[in-house]
């Protein structure tokens, strides 16, 4: 019983660590992507992003001596379609907005993630957790509140919000496909093979700039390794160990990381409201993690006690 409870605690801690690693990758990557888009088009960047992830997944499979499988199923195909739309919209929004704005608007992802987890995954969320999620969302909107009356690019804003929806939906589908016992790296590989086909079609139809600046290509590839490969792979591993809603509420902290690393290049004036929102956001996420950890530890102990009594 003690060993079982300890195993659950270790599993959850691993989930938190994988999630934090993913958040760090996702928080820094958009800044590098923005610099990469200075001399190449969004469609070319989408293809480079996908090719990089496919190659990295294949190399990881060789290094780890685990076969990289191609899953030809309806659910993975649907996952790839959602991921493709998200990737394209992400680069469109990056082209039109600053990384800091992308990071702020990208926190709509948290709203979509919690709602979709409740509707599709049927995850039970207690009233106290709903309160903490609401505080995290409130903190997010306070943090993204503009410090002046400057105009935002409407197309960029819409693209940023829509790409967060499709990424949230993609991660819901990832959660469902992982429960089928599929290997994370093979799932990532398959997802991006399908995505490459779809973004290549988009490239042929919509691309007007075929410039392949070496610096931009390199930066785009590095950003793809950080966000699309490592960040996503870490997320897959976190989702094996954590509830979808909790894992994704924790990810609401990524715009703070992005704002911090982007400030020297894209300075943004933070108001008292922005800072207060960041504090609320961080505290809410931390408390959600603690509540989730204690709840699952208690639940596991209860189940272990019942099993011991039955035996």
The pLDDT of residue 184 is above 70? yes
pLDDT at res. 307: 43
User: What residues contact residue 120 under an 8 Å CB cut-off, 6+ apart?
Assistant: 172, 176
Mean per-residue pLDDT for 207-225? 84
Please give the residue that has the higher pLDDT: either 232 or 268.
232
Helix axes 214-223, 42-64, angle to 10 degrees: 50
Structure token digits, residue 213: 């600046």
Q: What mean pLDDT is reported for the chain? A: 78
Q: What CA–CA distance (Å, rounded) separates 145 from 165?
A: 20
Average pLDDT over residues 85-114: 77
How large is the average pLDDT for residues 201-228? 84
Contact indicator for 143, 278 with CB cutoff of 8 Å: yes
Higher local confidence (pLDDT), 207 or 142: 142
Contact of 99 with 255, CB cutoff 8 Å: no
The answer on pLDDT for 106 being more than 60 is yes
Q: Kindly report the number of other CB atoms within 10 A of residue 227's CB atom.
A: 22
Q: Which residue has the tokens 């790296």?
A: 185
Query: Full-prediction pTM beyond 0.75?
Result: no
What confidence tens digit (pLDDT) does each residue in 189-201 have?
988 898 898 888 8
Query: Out of 87-91, 107-111, 168-172, 224-228, which region has the weakest mean confidence (pLDDT)?
Result: 107-111
CA separation for the pair 281, 278 (Å, rounded): 5
For residue 70, pLDDT over 60 is answered with yes
Q: CB-side exposure of 36: number of CA atoms within 13 Å? A: 24
Q: What is the pLDDT of residue 148?
A: 56
Q: Determine the 3-state secondary structure of 246 from DSSP.
A: helix
Residue 275 CB neighbours (<10 A): 12
Q: Report d(CA 74, CA 30) in Å as an integer.
A: 30
Q: What confidence tier does 56 reach under pLDDT thresholds 50, 70, 90?
A: very high
Alpha carbons 66 and 148: distance in angstroms, whole number: 52
Mean pLDDT value across residues 236-263: 73
Q: Is the pLDDT of residue 302 over 60?
A: no
Q: Is the pLDDT of residue 218 over 60?
A: yes
C-alpha span between 250 and 253 (Å, rounded): 6
Looking at residue 52, what is its pLDDT?
94
Is residue 96 very low, low, confident or very high in pLDDT (cuts 50, 70, 90)? Answer: confident
Confidence (pLDDT) at 66: 84
Q: Is the pLDDT of residue 311 over 50?
A: no
How far apart, in whole angstroms, are the C-alpha atoms of residue 202 and residue 33?
A: 19
Give the pLDDT band of residue 48 (cuts 50, 70, 90).
Answer: very high
pLDDT the model gives residue 304: 47
Q: Name the residue with higher pLDDT: 73 or 152.
A: 73
Tokens of 93: 């929004």
**Secondary structure (DSSP) of 146-173:** -SS-PPP-HHHHHHHHHHHHHHHHHHHH
Q: What does the block give as tokens for 104?
A: 């702020």
pLDDT at 179: 59
How far apart, in Å, are the Cα atoms of 179 and each of 172, 198, 241, 300?
Answer: 11, 26, 11, 19
DSSP alpha helix (H) spans, 251-271: 254-262
The total number of residues shown for the chain amounts to 311
Q: What percent of the chain has pLDDT over 70?
A: 76
């Amino acid at each position: 019983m003690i060993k079982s409870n300890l195993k659950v605690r270790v599993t959850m801690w691993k989930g938190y660590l994988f999630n934090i690693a993913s958040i760090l990758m996702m928080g820094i990557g958009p800044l590098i992507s923005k610099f990469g888009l200075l001399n190449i088009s969004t469609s070319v960047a989408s293809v480079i992003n996908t090719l990089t992830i496919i190659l990295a997944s294949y190399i990881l499979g060789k290094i780890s001596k685990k076969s990289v499988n191609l899953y030809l199923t309806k659910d993975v195909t649907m996952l790839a379609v959602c991921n493709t739309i998200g990737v394209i919209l992400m680069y469109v929004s990056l082209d039109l907005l600053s990384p800091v704005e992308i990071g702020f608007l990208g926190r709509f992802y948290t709203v979509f993630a919690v709602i979709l987890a409740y509707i599709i995954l049927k995850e039970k969320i207690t009233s106290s957790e709903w309160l903490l999620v609401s505080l995290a969302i409130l903190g997010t909107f306070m943090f993204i509140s503009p410090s002046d009356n400057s105009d935002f690019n409407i197309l960029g804003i819409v693209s940023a919000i829509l790409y967060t929806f499709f990424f949230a939906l993609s991660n819901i589908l990832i959660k469902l496909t992982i429960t089928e016992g599929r290997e994370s790296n093979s799932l990532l590989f398959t997802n991006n093979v399908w995505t490459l086909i779809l973004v290549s079609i988009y490239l042929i139809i919509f691309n007007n700039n075929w410039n392949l600046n070496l610096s931009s290509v390199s930066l785009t590839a590095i950003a793809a390794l950080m966000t699309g490969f490592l960040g996503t792979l870490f997320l897959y591993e976190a989702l094996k160990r954590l509830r979808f809603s909790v894992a994704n509420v924790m990810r609401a902290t990524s715009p703070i990381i992005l704002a911090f690393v982007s400030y020297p290049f894209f300075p943004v004036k933070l108001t008292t409201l922005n800072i207060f929102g960041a504090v609320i956001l961080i505290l809410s996420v931390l408390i959600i993690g603690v509540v989730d950890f204690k709840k699952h530890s208690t639940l596991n102990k209860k189940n272990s006690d019942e099993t011991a009594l039955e035996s």
